[in-house]
A and B are shown apart, each in its own frame.
Chain A
Amino acid sequence: MALIETPNLDDHDGFYAELLAAHQGLSEDQSQALHAQLILILANHVGNRQVLSEALALARTCLD
């Protein structure tokens, strides 16, 4: 399996809103912690080392 780079999620806008809402009332540090936990939770759920490497690489190219 390769990293899915095309839309793959129902209700994108709803999820985005939920992601923002999850940060409500959190300090900057707490938000960082939330993101870190999310990454770990989702990484475990994806459960595919190769896909995770591709995801990391993709995220990184957007910053370079």
Chain B
Amino acid sequence: MPYDYRPYPYIAPPGLTAPEPRHRVVIVGAGPIGLAMALDLANYDVPSVILDDNDVVSVGSRAICWSKRSLEILDRLGVGAKVVEKGVTWKVGRTFHREAEVFNFDLLPEEGHKMPAFVNLQQYYVEEYLIEAVQANDLIDVRFKNTVTNVVQSADCAVVEIETPDGSYTLEADYLIACDGAKSPIRGMMGLDFKGELFEERFLIADIEMQADFPSERRFWFEPTFHPGQSALLHKQPDDIYRIDLQLGWDADPEEERKPENVIPRIEKVVGHRDFKLDWVSVYTFQCRRLERFVHDRVIFVGDSAHIVSPFGARGGNGGLQDVDALGWRLAAVLEQRAPPAILGDYDTERVHGAEENIMNSSRATKFMTPADGVEHLLRDQVLALAGKAPFARAWVNSGRLSVPCVYPSDGADDPALPRAARPGAVAPDAPWDNGWLLDALGGRAVVLAIGCEISEVSGAQVVSPPISQFVRERYLGDARSAVYLIRPDQVVAARWPYVDPASIDRAVAAMWRQ
């Protein structure tokens, strides 16, 4: 069943008739990232206005793979359960060369996590759920058909010019968050460079509807017989929708390739029959680019406006949600004067680091898929040839390294005796706790986890003491008898100790808030 696009109502904004009081936060763009940003800020009691030039959710499904970390973030925004319930859960990926499977991976081989490794769900559903949550939230004022036409900054605010069907008006905001997507008009208005690389390759991306008994797996082919010399990807989505990516070569004519009479025979070769309907077709050329800095005084870039990647690895939307997570608690603290504006520099540093990692991984995968003539092609082909015979070579086969959160550079207190996976800068690992989950007790505020020890009180953080289950032992203690973890509001480990040291906990809390 194709998605039913229902336009959201446009309501004439108050600013058309009289100047509005200065807003704390104006978010430009009601894509997944802008919507998530508003919900995250609302969780910290910060109101915001969202402006979007459009009035429907994403046309075409675009992002389909949502990572475990995104699901954890969406969970705190109130839509995680819905996304998991509607989506197709998967964790196994299979990679083929010609006919033979050369490599497969299991993204979440261990038990004891609330969220699965990946859920496939069309971007329009994710946006629909986020918009529902936004509209139900009194702190958020979302305005459709409000196009931002200019942004200027003064010393203490950003001034936004907006066009509506009823004319134009102006808003002032303490902070403007640009979530206006890959083509970000705001980037252009501010004259900012978007540096990086374009891959000279075209991909046909199609969603088809068909009845099929296809397992919930990601399938990737190098040089399949049904699409000689190129690569292909197949993914299952809910509603009997399947995503197919086909590499076309740089010489392909995008206009021609988009035509159903050309698309249908190509897809017929992939699925082996003609019993399907085309839901959405597009031809893409992929790029990996980013802004040098994401924070520009009163204007902060988040999501695709700040960085874009090729989709192999699903690092675009997933990376953007991690931006949101890293910014919300800090911006709230700045607005409430609990932290100095310098703390926004930590958002910048961390997410530039994250974007670099995502760009590096996406570029490497794209290069492996689309090697240049000559030695690049030679090496790629020989990796594939070897992978059929020698297990070690399979590790080199790169059809996309799927999104995992980066570990932020951190100088938080650490003790190497504690498990490496939970080191400062990493997301705190989940674990079952009674009938719930450890991650549900973290996030939204600073937490001090006291494991196997007692702490009565920490100023500026809430003490949480989970019982020592097998999972907590493995993920937080290792061989240590006790451990204390300072966890940031975005569930990232800030610092940790194998014993209680009140003075250094206090110092770490202060450092986290840049006090």
Chain A residues within 8 Å of B, Cβ to Cβ: 32-33, 36-37, 40-41, 44
A40, B381: Cβ atoms closer than 8 Å: no
A44: which B residues are within 8 A, CB to CB? 392-393
- B378 x A33 contact (CB < 8 A): yes
Distance (whole angstroms) from the CB of B394 to the closest CB of chain A: 11
Q: Indicate if B198 sits at the interface (CB-CB under 8 A).
A: no
Contacts of B392 in A (CB 8 A): 44
| A41 engages B386 (CB within 8 Å) | yes
- 0 or 1 for each of B385-418: is its CB under 8 Å from A? (1 = yes): 1100010110010000000000000000000000
CA distance A41 to B379 in the complex (A): 12
Within 8 A of A (CB), among B286-335: none
The answer to whether B386 touches A32 (Cβ under 8 A) is no
- Cβ-closest chain A residue relative to B391: A44
Residues of A within 8 A of B378 (CB): 32-33, 36
Measured between beta carbons, the chain B residues less than 8 angstroms from A40 are 379, 382-383, 386, 393, 396
B397 to chain A, nearest CB (A): 11
For B382, give the chain A residue with the smallest CB separation: A36
CA distance A32 to B386 in the complex (A): 14
The 4 residue pairs across chains A and B that have the minimum distance between CB atoms: A36-B382, A44-B392, A37-B382, A36-B379
Residues of A within 8 A of B393 (CB): 40, 44
12 A-B Cβ contacts within 8 A? A33-B382, A33-B385, A36-B378, A36-B381, A37-B382, A37-B385, A40-B379, A40-B382, A40-B383, A40-B393, A41-B386, A44-B392
B386 touches A33 (CB 8 A): no
Q: List B contacts of A32 (CB < 8 A).
A: 378
How far, in whole Å, are A30 and B385 apart by their CA atoms in the complex? Answer: 12
In the assembled complex, the CB of B407 is this many whole angstroms from the nearest CB of chain A, namely: 19
Contacts of A41 in B (CB 8 A): 386, 390
Closest chain B CB from A52 CB (angstroms): 13
Q: For the complex, what is the distance from the CA of A32 to the CA of B381, rounded to whole Å?
A: 11
Residues of the B chain whose Cβ atoms lie less than 8 Å from the Cβ of A37:
382, 385-386
Given A36-B381, A41-B386, 7 more A-B residue pairs with CB atoms under 8 Å apart are A33-B378, A33-B381, A33-B385, A40-B382, A40-B383, A40-B396, A44-B393
A33 to B380, CA, bound (A): 10
Residues from chain A with a CB closer than 8 A to the CB of B396 are 40
Q: Which residues of A contact B383 (CB under 8 A)?
A: 40
- Give Cα A41 to B396, complex, Å: 11
A24, chain B: closest CB distance, angstroms: 19
Bound-state CA distance A5–B381 (Å) is 30
Q: Which residues of B (365-390) have their CB < 8 Å from a CB of A?
A: 378-379, 381-383, 385-386, 390
Nearest chain A residue, comparing its CB with the CB of B374: A32
Cα A32 to Cα B376 with chains together (Å): 12
Chain B residues with Cβ below 8 Å from A33 are: 378, 381-382, 385
Shortest Cβ gap from B360 to chain A (Å): 16
Taken together as a complex, chains A and B put the C-alpha atoms of A36 and B382 apart, in Å, by 6
A56 to B300, CA, bound (A): 41
CA distance A14 to B374 in the complex (A): 31
A-contact bits for B238-261, CB 8 A (1 contact / 0 none): 000000000000000000000000
A32 to B378, CA, bound (A): 8
CB closest chain-B residue, reference A29: B378
Most A Cβ at <10 Å: residue of B382, B385, B393: B382
Distance in Å: Cβ of B442 to nearest Cβ of chain A: 35
The chain A residue with its CB closest to the CB of B393 is A40
Task: Report the separation of the CA atoms of residues A37 and B382 in the bound assembly, to the nearest whole angstrom.
Answer: 6
What separation, in Å, do the CA atoms of A44 and B392 have in the docked complex?
7
Residues of A within 8 A of B381 (CB): 33, 36
**Contact string against A for B residues 464-495, beta-carbon threshold 8 Å, 1 for contact and 0 otherwise:** 00000000000000000000000000000000
Question: Separation in Å of the A31 CB from the closest CB of chain B?
Answer: 11
A40 to B385, CA, bound (A): 11
Q: Which of A32, A33, A40 has the most chain B CB within a 10 Å cutoff?
A: A40
Residues of the A chain whose Cβ atoms lie less than 8 Å from the Cβ of B390: 41
| Complex CA–CA separation, A62 to B381 (angstroms) | 26
Closest Cβ of chain B to A49, distance in Å, is 13
Residue of B nearest to A36 (CB): B382
A55 to chain B, nearest CB (A): 16
B392 nearest in chain A by CB position? A44
Residues from chain A with a CB closer than 8 A to the CB of B382 are 33, 36-37, 40
The CA-CA distance from A32 to B380 in the complex, in Å, is: 12
Measured CA separation A32–B379 after assembly (Å):
9
For the complex, what is the distance from the CA of A5 to the CA of B36, rounded to whole Å? 56
CA distance A36 to B385 in the complex (A): 11
